[in-house]
Amino acid sequence: MENQNKNDAGSETWSVFRIMSEFVEGFETLRYLHPAVSIFGSSALKEGSRYYQLAVDIGRKLSDAGFAVITGGGPSIMEAANRGAKEGMSKSVGLNIEIPTEQRPNHYQDISLHFRYFFARKVMFVKYASAFVIMPGGFGTLDELFESLTLMQTKKIFNLPVVLVGSEFWGGLIDWIVSSPMKAGTLSREDLSYFALTDDPREVVRIIKEGYEKVRRSRAI
């Protein structure tokens, strides 16, 4: 038992180096990627779905507007956003994750990184993003949405544009935020200003361009 404990401790120690290598590779690969938009969304929606087509359109429009597009590198919405970005003028980036199910890298990545650890991958999503687009998705998408909002609320990052796409999908969540956390006093009316909601790809690009310029001016002061 004692030897087993020693082996486990040694394995945990060596995992630190794997974690460091993921950060180093990510920093070295993405440090010149600017500006960029991280797009989050489901891995389960089919290619023919309207949200898939919407993600293609958004990815292409952002790419043509000069923004690299970063996704989780997998299928469905991630694939669609990478696909649109690759059809455009800017880079298409996939931050792929090793998990037992779902993840297979899509074929629309100009830059492809591979992660074992979710937290290292999430740092890359935030560190190199000038904005976030949140498409319909599951727990992972919700996690990425609320982490982005938390980082801005706690002033750990600048107030970057966060655009929720799909009023039918996100409307219930926003109604709940107003009727429960805001009513209880755990969130304020001001907290709603951290994100916008739209179904129009052109509006997504407009919000992001205006927000990006605002942040860039504030950094220059």
Q: What is the distance between the alpha carbons of residues 30 and 144, in angstroms, rounded to a whole number?
A: 19
Residues of the chain with confidence (pLDDT) below 50: 1-2, 4, 6
Range of the domain at 78: 2-220
pLDDT value at residue 221: 55
- pTM for the whole structure: 0.92
Q: What is the distance between the alpha carbons of residues 111 and 51, in angstroms, rounded to a whole number?
A: 24
Q: What is the DSSP letter of 187?
A: S
* DSSP code per residue over 124-177: HHHHT-SEEEE-S--HHHHHHHHHHHHHHHTTSS----EEEE-HHHHHHHHHHH
Number of domain units in the chain: 1
CATH value at residue 196: 3.40.50.450
pLDDT value at residue 202: 98
Planar angle of CA 19, 99, 69, nearest 5 degrees: 75
Residue-wise pLDDT for 80-125, tens only, equals 999 999 999 999 999 999 887 656 889 999 999 999 999 999 999 9
Given the structure tokens 């030897």, which residue do they identify?
3
pLDDT value at residue 99: 82
HSE of 178, CA atoms in CB hemisphere, 13 A: 8
Beta-strand (E) ranges in 27-130? 36-40, 68-71, 92-97, 111-115
